[in-house]
């Protein structure tokens, strides 16, 4: 939502200032210049990246319109999920947990949390770690190293689309100059024509430079920065899961392990201890949303 507001503010501020100076709006409408810059920048992305990265890139751009999925309510639900999982293992024994880990979609514990199940990497992150602890008897230190390695690989994969978008942003000012140079070439071919025609062609060429710089610093660059923050929030969530699972593996009680996990949540979205305790002991899984003004 804030991304959309930001885009509107950028466009409104630029066009508003331009119109205040009595600038002719239609001069900025140059489809050919936009085609040169937009098409060439898209081509650079296709040249530099494999298809899976390009697909992730467009999904990521669409994802920023909905905001972060890691809210206080989502963390509270994940805390309750970890509590239920650890309580089940403590009550029934770790061997009984193996069936849930092998087929989490059929698990009585995990099936109560469809949002968690929808994140296949997070499910594998938790289930594979616990499976290694139960069936292979892996040492907590080794499991910690495995989780850290998994997080590094995941972070690298999520950063690839962001890096591709940042490269695209870096290319836009140069492509704007390319469009401007082509416009000047066309202008030179019409140098003997009426002054109004030459002036229009020069303006069109300069619009190419304007569009390249605006798209770089006004849109694509900030979108890449937004994606970076989304990836950081993703990494914080996996760190949260890692802390909780590792605390339980080391022998902490379910409530203590969940509290370890809660303390690792960023303060801006961290539920209070009372909220966590209420949720884990059968209360509401998430705080009631505030009434719309």
**Residue 285: predicted pLDDT:** 43
Does residue 226 carry a pLDDT above 70?
Answer: yes
Tell me the per-residue pLDDT of 111-143, one tens digit each, with 9 for 90 and over. 899 999 999 999 999 999 999 998 888 889 999
Q: How confident is the model at residue 287 (pLDDT cuts 50, 70, 90)?
A: very low
**Residue 292: predicted pLDDT:** 36
| Maximum distance among all Cα pairs of the chain, rounded to whole angstroms | 90
Q: Distance between CA atoms of 137 and 143, rounded to whole angstroms? A: 10
Average pLDDT of the residues in 220-244: 93
Q: How far, in Å, are 25, 171, 221, 242, 284 from residue 215 at the CA level?
A: 18, 10, 8, 39, 45
Q: How confident is the model at residue 62 (pLDDT cuts 50, 70, 90)?
A: confident
Half-sphere exposure of 117 (CA within 13 A, CB side): 14
Task: Kindly report the pTM of this predicted structure.
Answer: 0.82
Q: How confident is the model at residue 1 (pLDDT cuts 50, 70, 90)?
A: low
Which helix H or strand E contains 178, and what residues bound it?
helix 140-189
**Residue 194: predicted pLDDT:** 82
Q: Distance between CA atoms of 89 and 139, rounded to whole angstroms? A: 18
**Residue 3: predicted pLDDT:** 82
Does residue 288 carry a pLDDT above 90?
Answer: no
DSSP label at residue 70: -
- Cα-to-chain-centroid distance, residue 51: 18
Q: What is the radius of gyration, based on Cα positions, of the chain? A: 26
Tell me the per-residue pLDDT of 171-209, one tens digit each, with 9 for 90 and over. 999 999 998 898 888 888 877 778 778 888 888 888 989
Tell me if 80 sits within 8 A of 109, measured CB to CB: no
């Amino acid at each position: 939502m804030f991304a959309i507001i930001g885009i509107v503010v950028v466009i409104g501020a630029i066009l508003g200032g331009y119109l205040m100076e009595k600038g002719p709006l239609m001069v900025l409408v140059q489809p050919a210049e936009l085609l040169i810059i937009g098409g060439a920048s898209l081509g650079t992305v296709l040249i530099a990246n494999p298809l899976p990265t390009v697909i992730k890139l467009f999904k990521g751009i669409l994802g920023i319109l909905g905001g972060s999925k890691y809210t206080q309510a989502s963390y509270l639900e994940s805390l309750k999920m970890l509590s239920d999982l650890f309580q089940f293992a403590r009550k029934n024994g770790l061997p009984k947990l193996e069936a849930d880990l092998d087929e989490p979609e059929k698990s009585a514990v995990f099936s109560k949390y469809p949002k968690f199940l929808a994140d296949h990497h997070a499910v594998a992150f938790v289930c594979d770690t616990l499976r290694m602890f139960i069936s292979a008897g892996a040492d907590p230190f080794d499991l910690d190293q495995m989780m850290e390695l998994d997080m590094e690989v995941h972070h690298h994969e999520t950063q690839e689309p962001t890096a591709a978008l940042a490269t695209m942003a870096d290319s836009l000012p140069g492509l704007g100059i390319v469009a401007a140079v082509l416009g000047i070439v066309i202008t030179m071919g019409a140098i003997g024509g009426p002054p109004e025609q030459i002036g229009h062609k020069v303006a069109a060429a300069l619009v190419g430079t304007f569009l390249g710089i605006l798209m770089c610093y006004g849109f694509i660059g900030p979108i890449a920065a937004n994606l970076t923050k989304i990836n950081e929030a993703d990494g914080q969530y996996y760190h949260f899961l890692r802390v909780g699972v590792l605390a339980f593996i080391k022998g902490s009680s379910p409530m203590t392990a969940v509290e370890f996990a809660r303390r690792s949540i960023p303060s801006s979205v961290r539920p209070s201890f009372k909220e966590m305790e209420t949720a884990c002991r059968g209360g509401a899984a998430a705080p009631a949303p505030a009434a719309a003004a």
